[in-house]
Amino acid sequence: MKLDYLDQLESEAIHIMREVAGQFERPALLFSGGKDSITLVHLALKAFRPGKFPFPLVHIDTGHNFQEALDYRDAMAERIGEKLIVRYVEDTIREKKLKEPTGRNATRNGLQTFTLLDTIEEFEFDACIGGARRDEEKARAKERVFSVRDEFGSWDPKRQRPELWNLYNGRIHKGENVRVFPISNWTELDVWNYIRREKIQLPSIYFAHDRELLIRDGKLMATAGGVIKPEADDQRVTRRVRFRTVGDISCTAASESTAETLDAVIDEIQATRISERGETRMDDQLSEAAMEDRKKGGYF
CATH architecture of 5-192+289-296: 3-Layer(aba) Sandwich (3.40)
Q: What is the pLDDT of residues 101-160, one digit of tens each?
A: 777 777 777 788 899 999 999 999 999 999 989 887 766 677 889 998 888 778 888 888
Burial annotation 23-38 (CB, 10 A radius, 16+ → b, else e):
bbeebbbbbbbbbbbb
Q: Are 203 and 68 in contact (CB under 8 A)?
A: yes
pLDDT value at 298 more than 70 = no
pLDDT given for residue 265 in this prediction: 95
Least-confidence region, from 17-26, 114-123, 228-237: 228-237
Q: Where in the chain is the domain with CATH 3.40.50.620?
A: 5-192+289-296
Give dist(CA 244, CA 224) in Å, integer: 17
Give dist(CA 40, CA 57) in Å, integer: 11
Give dist(CA 114, CA 250) in Å, integer: 18
Q: How confident is the model at residue 273 (pLDDT cuts 50, 70, 90)?
A: confident
The structure's pTM equals 0.90
Give dist(CA 64, CA 229) in Å, integer: 13
Q: What is the pLDDT of residues 183-195, one digit of tens each?
A: 999 999 999 999 9
pLDDT value at 228 more than 90 = no
pLDDT given for residue 90 in this prediction: 92
Residue 32's nearest CA partner among 79, 80, 64, 8 is 64
